[in-house]
Amino acid sequence: MEYQQQWQGVSAGARDRAGFIRSVYLWLMGGMAIAALGALTSPLVARALVPVAGSFFGWLLFGIQFGTLMFASRVRRRQPLNRLAFALFTYVSGVIGGIVALVVAQGAGFGPVIAAFGLTGVAFLTLSATAFVSKKDFSFLRNFVIVGIAVMFFGGIAAALFHLETFGLVVSGVAVIACSAKLLWDTSAMLRTDDFSDPAGFALALFVSLFNILIALMNLLGGRRR
């Protein structure tokens, strides 16, 4: 009898975890769909904002994206506000991704853009499979991820401010490695957590890593020919 109760408890826990993981990926897929809409409408957004922002257009978009990310992170457990915040962030990210893709395509063709999307998908599937199959705790990557993201963030700002193209490519390489490690770490944390109340937070973390990998790969693959 006691064994049966324990088995039922384990079975219920497994169902709850499976439902939580499914919710995370449903959030992520919804965010990707909204980001695709943002990418499709990016030329319209650019036409509307460039006359207003001028040479500060890129910085304006970056500020809006960062603000919506902070907003989405803050309200990720508050329904239904978390849905609105997540949609705003993914839409703005899609607009930025669409503009970057158009800039790369103008200078180097659509080949690097398509390759970047393909490699991002391969990285996502490979790293997710690694976390699911190995079931290891990848939290030991924490310090490496923190340092890598700091280099990516501040290095990217420096490269943009001082027009350091070669340094920008180096920063993009760091971004691919650091965000791939973070994707592995976040997926591992998702599989091991006992708090099933924050699917939006995990989906947000996964989306940010995938977005940064995609942008960095487009810069790496198309940068030298732009």
Cβ neighbours for 104, distance < 8 A, ≥ 6 positions apart: 112, 113, 116, 218, 219, 221, 222, 226
Q: Does residue 8 lie in a domain region?
A: no
Q: Which of 142, 145, 165, 141 is nearest to 155 (CA)?
A: 165
pLDDT at 11 (0 to 100): 62
Provide the residue range defining the domain that includes 194.
19-223
Q: Does residue 106 lie in a domain region?
A: yes
Q: What is the pTM of this model?
A: 0.92
Q: Does residue 91 lie in a domain region?
A: yes
pLDDT at 225 (0 to 100): 52
Cβ neighbours for 9, distance < 8 A, ≥ 6 positions apart: none
Mean pLDDT (whole number) for 191-214: 95
Q: Does residue 173 lie in a domain region?
A: yes
pLDDT digit string (tens) for 48-65? 888 888 888 899 999 999
Distance CA(125)–CA(39), nearest Å, equals 22
pLDDT at 14 (0 to 100): 80
pLDDT at 156 (0 to 100): 93
3-state helix, strand, coil split of the chain in percent (to 5) is 90, 0, 10
pLDDT digit string (tens) for 11-26? 666 888 999 999 999 9
Tally of domains in the chain: 1
pLDDT at 12 (0 to 100): 64
